[in-house]
Amino acid sequence: MTTRRDLLRYTALGAAALGVHGEALASPAFAAQAEGAIALPPPISNAERQDRIKRAQALMQQQGMAGIVVEAGTSMLYFSGLAWGRGSRLTALVIPATGAPVIVSPAFEEGKLRELMVVDMEVRTWQEHESPFARIAGVLDDRGAKGAIGLERTTRFFVTEGLRSDAPDRALVSANAVVSALRQIKSPREIALMQAASDITMAAYRDTYAQIETGMTGGDVSALMEAATRARGGRPTFTLALVGEASAYPHGSKKVYRLNEGEIILMDCGCDVHGYKSDISRTWVHGEPSAEHRRVWNTARRGQDIVMETARIGAPIGAIDDAVRRYYEREGWGPDYTLPGLSHRTGHGIGMDVHEDQFVVRGNETPIAPGMCFSNEPGIYLPGRFGVRTEDCVYMTEDGPRLFTKRAPSIDHPMG
């Protein structure tokens, strides 16, 4: 089990391994081209992936790991650039503490695998009657690697069981001290990609906002947003549009609501640029807001201000959530997760996954470090009535948090 003490250590390890400083995290501007598409920065290079592997190996050696095993998913993509799906047969990236990484794959998949590989790596195959876990153990044995095998956090149980059987002399431990420590501290190139994704999402929001009409359903609005996102050069990852009472439930309702004058619309949308994500929410009223709409919206907006004021290098990230909830309780919301009020955490890490370490939630004592990226979304929800959530993501510098997007100035001007 990962302890709080572990999390404190992992953050320090990741920041030191990446060598990221505040001045290196300045976000470049990506101006819209004349035709309306957003100019994209280049994707992550193989040189950066090789550097990630070297840093991972340094952390493994510090932690006494022989190597780490990474199943298909964003962590495999992070280290190798290989986009591969999970199935019943194991395909895994094995990164030993010393020496070159190896892909372990079903033999019949080797041709397709090599077509998709962007980093030249050795491939070790296994036939249907053979054990992929023995292949993994063989990689570490061949490299002369001593110590435990680290498992990336999303590794499935059957992989753990297989390694216990076929590598009985090696302990199995969490690889969070390597993978999470690196991934939660973003490089300048990663931040540039997230900035581009955020720019696209905000441009698509403005395009969509101008087209919304009375009588539309949430699905109608989502379709507009998806089309606008693609037109701006992004790949939509999610487009949530909650109309009326549906906005009172953070992830919506199965009921279909149509937009009427004087009703709230809450949108939560994001896109992907070269594997990196945006996540932005906006809330407004279709027509004239009521006094209560304004009061709730302004309180949630002040909650965002408190996030920005509390996020400081070295402070525990959970202190942000604590500060927001103290303010909300003074304003009559809650207490804690009680509704009406804030029923979810104040934010989450973001990068290649929409939700990553670190979570902005009570009890998370991980110290905030330069390069961390997380959402700022302290919503307020009134069950049976409406909800308000404005969400912008930030990246941390030595001087404090910086926004990927300008926050909404008012309920009357949600897009700025």
pLDDT at 394: 98
- The dihedral built from the CA positions of residue 312, 237, 48 and 189, taken in this order, carries a sign that is negative
Domain-located, residue 28: no
How is residue 303 written in tokens?
């909650």
- Per mean pLDDT, which range of 25-39, 177-191, 196-210, 230-244 is the poorest? 25-39
Q: How far is it, in rounded angstroms, from Cα 170 to Cα 163?
A: 9
Q: What is the mean pLDDT of residues 364-386?
A: 98
Residue 151 phi, psi dihedral angles, 5° rounding: -110, 125
Residues 192 and 179 in one domain: no
**Shortest CA distance to 297 belongs to which of 377, 241, 379?**
379
CATH code of the domain containing 220 = 3.90.230.10
Q: How far is it, in rounded angstroms, from Cα 11 to Cα 170?
A: 26
Residues 149 and 248 in one domain: no
Residues 195 and 292 in one domain: yes
Domain-located, residue 63: yes
Which residue is it, tokens 């929410």?
281
Domain-located, residue 57: yes
User: Could you tell me if 286 and 280 are in contact, meaning their C-beta atoms sit under 8 angstroms apart?
Assistant: no
How is residue 173 written in tokens?
């431990």
Domain-located, residue 232: yes
pLDDT at 38: 85
Q: Tell me the residue type at 184.
A: Q
Total domains in the fold of the chain: 2
- What are the pLDDT digits (tens) for 376-414? 999 999 999 999 999 999 999 999 999 999 999 999 999
Residues 195 and 48 in one domain: no
Residues 210 and 327 in one domain: yes
- For the cut 80, the answer to whether the pLDDT of residue 225 exceeds it is yes
Residues 193 and 333 in one domain: yes
pLDDT at 36: 75
Of the three residues 183, 204, 232, the one that is the final residue of a domain is 183
Angle between helices 188-209 and 218-231 (to 10 degrees): 130
Residues 179 and 202 in one domain: no
Of the three residues 148, 183, 218, the one that is the final residue of a domain is 183
**Shortest CA distance to 145 belongs to which of 183, 92, 101?**
101
Residues 58 and 170 in one domain: yes
- For the cut 60, the answer to whether the pLDDT of residue 338 exceeds it is yes
Residues 171 and 206 in one domain: no
Give the N- to C-terminal CA distance of the chain in Å, as an integer: 44
Q: What is the mean pLDDT of residues 249-259?
A: 95
**Shortest CA distance to 55 belongs to which of 19, 84, 31, 11?**
19
Alpha helices, DSSP H only, in 143-290? 157-166, 179-183, 188-209, 218-231
Domain-located, residue 303: yes
Q: How far is it, in rounded angstroms, from Cα 324 to Cα 330?
A: 10
CATH code of the domain containing 136 = 3.40.350.10
Residues 192 and 319 in one domain: yes
Residues 387 and 275 in one domain: yes
User: Could you tell me if 86 and 71 are in contact, meaning their C-beta atoms sit under 8 angstroms apart?
Assistant: yes
The mean of the pLDDT values for the chain is 92
Q: How far is it, in rounded angstroms, from Cα 307 to Cα 103?
A: 42
Cα angle 155, 161, 165 (rounded to 5 degrees) comes to 135
pLDDT at 35: 61
User: If DSSP codes are grouped into helix, strand and coil, which group holds residue 388?
Assistant: strand
Q: How far is it, in rounded angstroms, from Cα 64 to Cα 149?
A: 9
Residues 271 and 174 in one domain: no
**Shortest CA distance to 123 belongs to which of 163, 92, 167, 153?**
92
**Shortest CA distance to 152 belongs to which of 251, 72, 38?**
72
Domain-located, residue 19: no
Domain-located, residue 234: yes
- What are the pLDDT digits (tens) for 8-66? 333 444 444 444 333 333 333 333 343 678 889 999 999 999 999 999 999 999 999 99
| Domain extent for 239 | 188-403
- What are the pLDDT digits (tens) for 53-105? 999 999 999 999 999 999 999 999 999 999 999 999 999 999 999 999 999 99
Q: How far is it, in rounded angstroms, from Cα 381 to Cα 383?
A: 6
Q: What is the mean pLDDT of residues 228-233?
A: 96
Domain-located, residue 9: no
Largest CA distance in the chain: 70
Position with higher pLDDT, 7 vs 118: 118
What b-and-e string marks burial along 200-215, b requiring 16 or more CB atoms within 10 Å of the CB? bbbbbbebbbeebeee
- For the cut 50, the answer to whether the pLDDT of residue 1 exceeds it is no
**Shortest CA distance to 351 belongs to which of 405, 415, 270, 268?**
270
What region, left, alpha or beta, does residue 197 occupy, with left being phi > 0 and alpha being psi -120 to 50 degrees?
alpha
pTM beyond 0.95, yes or no: no
Of the three residues 143, 158, 183, the one that is the final residue of a domain is 183
Residue 41 phi, psi dihedral angles, 5° rounding: -75, 165
